[in-house]
Chain A
Amino acid sequence: GEDVEQSLFLSVREGDSSVINCTYTDSSSTYLYWYKQEPGAGLQLLTYIFSNMDMKQDQRLTVLLNKKDKHLSLRIADTQTGDSAIYFCAESMRGYGGSQGNLIFGKGTKLSVKP
């Protein structure tokens, strides 16, 4: 069955790098995503990576994908207090009609940034 695992908590100091890890089970997933959720808010798409890529960089964010180990990580450089939120890793399952939005989410990692 599908399962996405993440550690539940991460605490870092402002200015440090944060690394949030995720493992997934379905090797047929074509896209893997990172979403950010602040308290009381919806999900903000941070970045995604296609399964044939190893790495993707977008400003302060670096995503690494190890397809052999089914391991995905999100690195946030120069972490700021505004980065405090819950970060969800998600894998996409191809749905009927070819839609890609059937996402299986991890439980989320709560990132706390201390000043």
Chain B
Amino acid sequence: DTEVTQTPKHLVMGMTNKKSLKCEQHMGHRAMYWYKQKAKKPPELMFVYSYEKLSINESVPSRFSPECPNSSLLNLHLHALQPEDSALYLCASSQGGGSGNTIYFGEGSWLTVV
């Protein structure tokens, strides 16, 4: 099983809403990631969790708040987003810990902020 599962697949939210994106993997990977992909652009790294600790935050605005409840789950909490935050949000995982070289992505969550 090389699957990273993301929910929801599509989300429309208002600028005052609070919502969450969820990601799950059961490959025993210890590193998990959030990437953001705008239309016709490559993905860009947002956050990295390594062994359930936040290890990289690529200067992401605080209206995006990641959470890693356990080694299989990764959430992205969204609050007071702007229309320009509309994008495809991709979760990924890898073995982490300096070993493992296969990085698997989920199908993504399409977010529209209105």
Contacts and interface: CB of A to CB of B under 8 A. Distances in A.
Q: Do A and B form a real pair?
A: yes
Interface of A: 30-31, 33, 35, 41-45, 48, 50, 88, 92, 94-103, 105-108
Contact of A100 (B6, B35, B94, B104): B94
A45 B42 contact: no
B98 A98 contact: yes
Contacts of B105: 35, 42-45
Contacts of B100: 100
20 contacts: A41-B107, A41-B108, A42-B88, A42-B108, A45-B102, A45-B105, A88-B42, A92-B101, A95-B48, A95-B55, A95-B56, A96-B55, A99-B48, A99-B50, A100-B96, A100-B100, A101-B48, A103-B35, A103-B103, A107-B42
B56 A96 contact: yes
Interface in B6-32: 6, 31
Nearest to B31: A99
Interface of B: 6, 31, 33, 35, 41-45, 48, 50-51, 53, 55-56, 88, 90, 92-94, 96-108
Given A98-B99, A99-B31, 12 more contacts: A43-B92, A45-B103, A92-B103, A96-B56, A97-B53, A99-B50, A99-B55, A99-B56, A99-B98, A101-B92, A105-B44, A107-B41
B91 to A, nearest CB: 9
A105 B42 contact: yes
A41 B101 CA distance: 22
A33 B6 CA distance: 22
A98 B56 CA distance: 11
Contacts of A45: 102-105
